[in-house]
Copies of this chain bind each other. A is one copy, B any other.
């Protein structure tokens, strides 16, 4: 089964990468960009016996830094 984990910075945490992209978009002449924030998308192919609890543990221990980041788990079709 395929799962997606979205890891995003918590609100209020400074995002220098997002700021750099925002600045670069301005430099390229794109108007109307008010804010850019960058996170990670982690796609995992798991065997059927991996529980949701186990996946949450992976997120807590390795995939996200829960001090400054939030994560969200989503099912994905295996064929996608």
Contact = CB atoms under 8 A, between A and B. Distances in A.
Contacts of A68: none
Contact of A36 (B7, B18, B43): B43
A41 B43 contact: no
Interface in A24-68: 24-25, 28, 30-47, 49-50, 54, 57-58, 61-63
B39 A41 contact: yes
A21 interface: yes
Given A41-B39, A43-B39, A33 B50 contact: yes
Interface of A: 6-8, 18, 21, 24-25, 28, 30-47, 49-50, 54, 57-58, 61-63
